[in-house]
Amino acid sequence: MAALNGKCLCGGVSFTVAAPTHLDSCHCADCRRWSGGPNISLDFSAVDFKSDKTLAWFQNSDWAERGFCKTCGSSLFYRLIEDHSKMTVCAGAVDGISDDVKITKEFFIEQKPAFYDFAGERERLTGAEVFALYSAEEDS
């Protein structure tokens, strides 16, 4: 699968990641505070770092932490504390995502503010449905 390049605003963090087949989005309050708006990201992926010299992590929940550039402030990654091997990647940091790639899920729809909506039809899950989905995957 083709690899795409990604980087933060200042270039202190740069990486490659496999070209995504779909994107996810999250409307939760933490994602919006972190991203400055709704978060759109590549699903959990293996990231190959070219440079991580300005990468820092902030743990915002009991189960996950968020990676950002400590020089330029770009929001970049989300990973589970129990498994650092894969992380979601903010779509805005990745170059060359194909026009064929669409957002297929909206997470935490009940936390979405009224002042924006994503056009089009796709799966929209509440926070409770998101937790049920991922704990079911862990059990299987």
Binding site for Zn ion (CB under 5 A): 8, 10, 12, 26, 28, 31, 69, 71-72
The span from the CA of 74 to the CA of 115, in Å, is 24
Residue 28: phi and psi, rounded to 5, are -65, 155
Helix (H, G, I), strand (E, B) or coil at 82: coil
Decide whether 20 or 67 has the Cβ nearer to Zn ion: 67
Least Cβ distance, residue 1 to Zn ion (angstroms): 26
Decide whether 4 or 130 has the Cβ nearer to Zn ion: 130
Decide whether 53 or 98 has the Cβ nearer to Zn ion: 53
Least Cβ distance, residue 63 to Zn ion (angstroms): 12
The span from the CA of 30 to the CA of 51, in Å, is 26
Least Cβ distance, residue 9 to Zn ion (angstroms): 5
The secondary structure of residue 127, as a DSSP letter, is H
